[in-house]
Amino acid sequence: MFTGNNQMELEKFSAFHDAAHREGLLFFYSGYFSQNIVAAMADAVRYRLKIQPAKSETLRKVFSAFVEMSQNIVHYSAEPITDEAADDHEMRYGTVSLGQQGDSYFVACGNPVSLDEAPVLKEKIDRIRVMTAEEIKKAYRERLRSESEQGSKGAGLGFLTLARDATRPINYAFEKLPSDATVFFYLKAVI
Amino acid sequence: MDDFYVQATPTSPEIDFRFSSNTLGIRGESYPENAAAFYSDAIRQLRLYLATLGATHVEINVELKYFNSSSTKILYTLFGMLNDCVRQGNDVTLNWFHDEEDETILEFGEELYEDFGELNFRPTAVSAA
């Protein structure tokens, strides 16, 4: 029962909160991503996961997926508020969520990417999606041994790390945005 | 050669390279924003130090709670350098501390062992805090 002087607004917020809880959402953030924000979120997520009734190995993988996805947004979202060419102290727009789904956990993220980047991402992930667990491990090791790929601020290991930790093929979607310059890229890993 | 020390932060490890006693340590979390930038000074100092060695026993203690994908790549480079230094007539013991329940970190340690067989690799399970 709601009482107070601003019932309508808070009822909406309450409905949002309840729906999130019902859907098993453990963490959700939408806004600008920087390393400091990732560090603070990682801290919150660790506490949230600590009390989850799952194997610690599973929870570690969930944490790993969360960090990989959040740092991807810091590095690659097409909506930076810092200098486009920067590779440190970056701040970019995106969204990340983490929750429980049946017996599994999921980590999902989204951020705008350029029209040119979208097919590159699609091809990269499609290639990994059809791999068996053994093939993913093999590709991961090959990538570890090779020189870093161009345009990668990490090691080109990010998607393979997600795929290695996930129990199902990683999922993605692209959504057209009103602006012509970018599309919204969603990625989800189930662990 | 001067020792090299970097204090830990919530997302980057303590780096404690005591070149004077041939004991190296990396401890904590490793998911800095830019792993290549974070480790570049440490790698540079290590390279200089390794070039001065001959018939020396080096001990490296690695105790990382979590490391992200870009840190993994840097660690791989670092262990490759140590492996090369064994070929120059030194010997290196890598004490690889990992949480007893953390298979991912143990597996990575084992992969290192396969690729860098010159290292005296000692995995050590520590119980979760």
Chain A nearest C-alpha distance from B20 (Å): 31
Question: Looking at residue A67, what is its pLDDT?
Answer: 97
Question: Looking at residue B111, what is its pLDDT?
Answer: 81
Predicted-complex ipTM score? 0.91
Is the confidence at residue B129, as pLDDT, over 60?
Answer: no
Q: Token digits for A106?
A: 């999921």
Tell if the CB–CB gap between B103 and A71 is shorter than 8 Å: no
Touching check for B52 and chain A: CB below 8 Å? no
- What mean pLDDT do residues B102-125 have? 84
Which helix (H) or strand (E) covers residue A125, if one does? helix A117-129
Query: Is-contact A113 A182, C-beta < 8 A?
Result: yes
Question: Looking at residue B56, what is its pLDDT?
Answer: 95
Angle, vertex CA A23, rays to CA A97 and CA A16, nearest 5: 80
Measured between alpha carbons, how far is B27 from B61 in angstroms, rounded to an integer? 8
Question: Looking at residue B101, what is its pLDDT?
Answer: 79
Which residues does A60 contact at the CB level (< 8 Å), separation at least 6? B66, B102, B104
Per-residue pLDDT 10s for chain A (191 aa) are 566 666 667 888 899 999 999 999 999 999 999 999 999 999 999 999 999 999 888 999 999 999 999 999 988 888 777 666 666 677 788 999 999 988 999 999 999 999 999 999 999 999 999 999 999 999 998 998 886 555 565 657 899 999 999 999 999 999 988 777 889 999 999 99
Tell if the CB–CB gap between B70 and A153 is shorter than 8 Å: yes
pTM, whole model, 2 decimals?
A: 0.90
- What mean pLDDT do residues B87-92 have? 94
Measured between alpha carbons, how far is A150 from B38 in angstroms, rounded to an integer? 19
Chain B positions in Cβ-Cβ contact with residue A158 (cut-off 8 Å): 69-70
Query: Is-contact A34 A90, C-beta < 8 A?
Result: yes
- What mean pLDDT do residues B92-100 have? 90
Tell if the CB–CB gap between A161 and B69 is shorter than 8 Å: yes
Residue bearing the bigger pLDDT, B99 or A162: A162
Residue of A nearest to B110 (CA): A141
Residue bearing the bigger pLDDT, B13 or A7: B13
**Cα-based torsion angle of the residue sequence B95, B96, B97, B100 in order, rounded to the nearest 10 degrees:** -130
Question: Looking at residue B103, what is its pLDDT?
Answer: 79
Question: Looking at residue A154, what is its pLDDT?
Answer: 60
Is the confidence at residue B112, as pLDDT, over 90?
Answer: no
Question: Looking at residue A171, what is its pLDDT?
Answer: 96
Q: Which residue has the tokens 């007539």?
A: B89
Which of A40-44, A163-167, B37-41, B103-107 shows the lowest per-residue confidence on average (mean pLDDT)?
B103-107
